[in-house]
Chain A
Amino acid sequence: MDAEITLRVDGEEHRLTVDTRTTILDALRERIGNTSPKKGCDHGQCGACTVLLDGRRVNSCLTFAVAHDGAEVTTSEGLAENGELHPMHRSFIEHDGYQCGYCTPGQIVSAVGMLEEVGNGWPSHATENVSAEGNAGLSDDEIRERMSGNLCRCAAYANIVPAIQYAAEHGEGVERGGNA
């Protein structure tokens, strides 16, 4: 059964007729031709398909496109502006935060969404006292916990954590975290 929807992907509007079973991930990859988000497990367990949906990081494999008519979607590709890499992209390159690269677009979008969450004062399971006022800060443990929805089967974690830490410390990841 088909439905007509509009998705705004990386700043560009797309009108599509989709089967109601189409996920946002499949709409992006198979219909719009944006292969930046990857299909890893297709069950919401690996995070390779992570995109920002109306500004928040989600698993695009578990969202039916029909339920998000008019939504704003940002992929890793869309984080780049005017052909310039996002600071989070650059930090992953500088810190060698990947091996095969398959999980990387999901990791990068997730990291950008995560810094926004930290900036908004959201606690995590690694936060000592959820009742406390103020920001949880961003220890390595906080990064590991907050990024646990993104698996890297090459186990590049030892470089992913410093890559995110560097981008966070240099303050640019947060500013550029919204929709392009």
Chain B
Amino acid sequence: MKPYRYERSEDVSGTISTIAEEPEGAFLAGGTNIVDLMKLGVMSPDMLVDVRRLTPDDVEETEDGGVRIGAAVTNSDLAAERTIRSRYPAISEALLSGASAQLRNMATTGGNLLQRTRCVYFQDTTTPCNKREPGSGCSAIEGHNKNHAILGASEHCVATHPSDMAVAMTALDAFVVTHGPDGERRIPIEELHRLPGSEPERDTILEHGELITAVELPPTAFFSNSKYRKVRERASYAFALVSVAAAMDVEDGVIRDVRIALGGVAHKPWRATKAEEALRGEPVSEANFRAAAEIELEDAEPLSGNAYKIPLARNVIVRTLSDLSEEGR
């Protein structure tokens, strides 16, 4: 591991100016991903700025009746938070399906959003990877790609985003609050992560030195009827092959409103807006769920090893929406 300078600042603005002067600097929060990537030689920052004690570590109600989650709230604290469990259960379920208890105790809300892909080639410095080393090529397109993207990929990168929490937050219309050199901004979470295009090295739209300080959830009542379903290769402690977060508002057997996001299928949490549009105002039925899922997956382009994800995603969407229509009645 390359030597690095450790810094800690007392306030957000001090931290942002410290890192602005260090192009190879990075933020350190729980460290569960970046420490590992530094050991692997995938990331080699000159400086780490510790932000774990800098951003809020609590969950509070906002003026509009929604909820603000401090960026330093750990994954385990957030999953156990009463308000989250009752009003946004998909987020609690997503967090509890990710990583291990030890990792959740360290990992933070902000860090979870910014974790890097678990593509095996990204993590192996002996192989080409456009995300790790722009222009070196993508080893996964012709290689071991059963875990890779079926939607929104490019000829430069087919990696998937690994977060469970972000998928649930994407379904539930979250906003990400950041502080950067140009001040504060509030980003719809759907716009935070990027598709790879020709710049797969950029996971998000954040500028260098822009710090996530909080995630805000809207006060939408039917989000209490939300769910996260994850399919993986073993019962626990594994990344998603496919996951679905959804929320549904059902009245008299008709879908008044619905939110759906998919994990494990793209370079970012995939908001299934086409499926949502197809379902609004329609009666609850398995046939309608299936038709909507198929509309969303029409654009899927499987690789040599991951065509299974198309029927899998369709089935997990149908199952999740069926569960929600039962519970929502």
Binding site for B on A (CB under 8 A): 1, 3, 19-21, 23, 42-44, 47, 50, 53, 56-59, 62-64, 66-67, 110, 113-114, 117, 120-125, 127, 130-131, 144-150
Contact = CB atoms under 8 A, between A and B. Distances in A.
Given A3-B6, A20-B4, A67-B52, A130 B85 contact: yes
B161 to A, nearest CB: 19
A123 B101 contact: no
Those 4 A-B pairs whose CB atoms lie nearest each other, nearest first? A149-B100, A148-B236, A122-B80, A148-B237
20 contacts: A3-B6, A20-B4, A20-B48, A42-B39, A43-B40, A58-B106, A59-B32, A62-B32, A63-B35, A64-B48, A110-B101, A114-B101, A122-B76, A122-B80, A123-B79, A123-B85, A125-B93, A125-B96, A131-B86, A150-B100
Nearest to B225: A131
Given A42-B39, A130-B89, A131-B86, A50 B102 contact: yes
Contacts of B48: 20, 64
Contacts of A42: 39
B118 to A, nearest CB: 11
A122 B237 CA distance: 17
Contact of A20 (B3, B101, B102, B224): B3
B105 A56 contact: yes
Given A44-B103, A146-B101, 14 more contacts: A1-B3, A1-B4, A20-B3, A44-B102, A50-B102, A56-B76, A57-B105, A58-B102, A122-B80, A124-B101, A131-B224, A148-B237, A149-B102, A149-B103
A62 B79 contact: no
Given A58-B102, A63-B106, A125 B6 contact: no
Contact of A21 (B1, B92, B103): B1
Contact of A1 (B5, B52, B100, B103): B5
Main secondary structure on B side of the interface with A: helix
Given A56-B105, A63-B106, A131-B224, A149 B4 contact: no
Interface string B110-122: 0000000000000
A62 B36 contact: yes
Interface in B250-302: none
A51 to B, nearest CB: 9
A132 to B, nearest CB: 8
B28 interface: yes
B50 interface: yes
A58 B35 contact: no
Given A44-B103, A110-B102, A67 B237 contact: no
Contact of A44 (B28, B32, B80, B85): B32
Contacts of B4: 1, 20-21
Contacts of A120: 80
B6 A1 contact: yes
B213 interface: no
B80 A123 contact: yes
Contacts of B79: 122-123, 130
B308 to A, nearest CB: 23
A156 to B, nearest CB: 17
B305 interface: no
Given A66-B6, A67-B50, A144-B236, A123 B100 contact: no
B175 to A, nearest CB: 23
Contacts of B80: 120-123
B89 A117 contact: no
A76 to B, nearest CB: 14
B31 interface: yes
Contact of A67 (B6, B85, B101): B6
B224 to A, nearest CB: 7
A93 B323 CA distance: 44
Contact of B92 (A59, A67, A113, A130): A130
A147 B236 CA distance: 10
Given A42-B39, A130-B92, A62 B85 contact: no
A2 to B, nearest CB: 10
A63 B31 contact: yes
Contact of A23 (B5, B35, B40): B35
Interface in B1-25: 1, 3-6
B147 interface: no
Nearest to B237: A148
